[in-house]
Amino acid sequence: MKKPSYTNSDFYGFFTKYSLLDNYGFMSGLISRVKKKFLPEFIEPKSFEKYVLSNKLKKSDSLNLNDIVDLDSIDRVKLKEHIYQSIVLLSSKVTAIGLDKNIKYKLESLLIDVNIFSDLASKCSGIETQSTSELLKIISDIKTIFKQFRLHKNRFGTSIQLSYKTKLVSKYLERLRLLVKLNDNNNDTKVWKQLIHEYVNEYDNHRSIIKYCRYHFDLVLLQAVEHTAAKGEKYIAENKQEYLKFLKKSMLGGFIISLFAFAKLFFDTYKYPDLSSAFIFSLNYAVCFILVKKLGGIIATKQPAMTASTIAKYIDDDNDLKVDNIGGVIHIVKNTLRSQFISFVGNMSVA
């Protein structure tokens, strides 16, 4: 296979274009993808992006570096320049998110020094005089900061926008880490392979309407899980004292349900029209559960809706997207089953 010449190739778009989440709202992103179905985006013919896509290097993990790119034919000065520009861009984006008003104040409430973002931007702009290991440490520290930010979200609340931005900054930081390593060693085979593999995958994902909608739907689910996980912990007994307290609360819940069950039978004797009966029965049902909640009662059949998210939270206890807490999951499942069993007994014994 004849090796192509990269003397005049542009690497900047390749380094920064994909593997980075879109920085705009849902509807504008959706419209953008619909447009691309009819009007494909233009890619500079002499760019490295064009070469990667035209050669369909999807199985880059199985290729040698020389099969992917001929480093001897690259204009190293231009490559170095594009790596530098990409690093400056990404560090600026990370700094902008870290110093965003809504995030900055929350980080400061956790006693986190936000000056680390300014340090990142400063060191990246002068990367030629900086130690690679020191830069990688700052990137790692910022990753840890945003992990703490996620873990302490119960103190200041969260939102779809915050979830989006924290996932966005994690993408920026990972790409920045790769570019810092590539800046230190242009011949790093592992980095080249990962960059190419990510680019090709994201090129396909970037134009997919289904994957775009799925990603944003996942953010909504994440919000639901985070909210109900915190609430669900209140429905899991950890010791004997809490276990007995659950029994009393569930007995109260069973008593209230019994009263409203009698009320339903009473309303039924009036033989109202179907629409009126449906409204009265629905109102009776709703008032019953509101009253149970306000008086501190427990209904066994409603517990799984809350505790399921709590169990999901324990599966990935440190937010690293891995199933790494099997012992904790087993413990929480055991306590959840016991709690729901005693709630069921309490409800049924009184009813």
pLDDT, tens only, 125-139: 988 888 889 999 999
What are the residues facing 47 on neighbouring strands? 10
If one compares 213 and 95, the residue with the highest pLDDT of the two is 95
pTM of the entire predicted model: 0.61
CA distances from residue 233 to 227, 230, 240, 305, 314 in whole angstroms, order as listed? 11, 6, 16, 12, 11
- Quickly list DSSP for 48-117: HHHHHHHTT-TTGGGS-HHHH--GGGB-HHHHHHHHHHHHHHHHHHHHHHHT-HHHHHHHHHTT--THHH
Higher pLDDT, 210 or 228: 210
pLDDT at 179: 93
Does position 159 have pLDDT exceeding 80, yes or no? no
pLDDT for 60 equals 46
- Coil, helix or strand at residue 239: coil
The residue ranking higher by pLDDT, 229 or 5, is: 229
Phi-psi region of 159 (alpha: psi -120 to 50; beta: other; left: phi over 0): beta
CB 328 within 8 A of CB 317: yes
| pLDDT tens-place string over residues 71-103 | 667 777 888 899 899 999 999 999 998 898 888
Q: Which of 347, 318, 314, 319 is nearest to 333 (CA)?
A: 314
Look over the chain and give the mean of its residue pLDDT values, rounded to a whole number. 78
Percent of the chain whose predicted confidence (pLDDT) is above 90 = 22
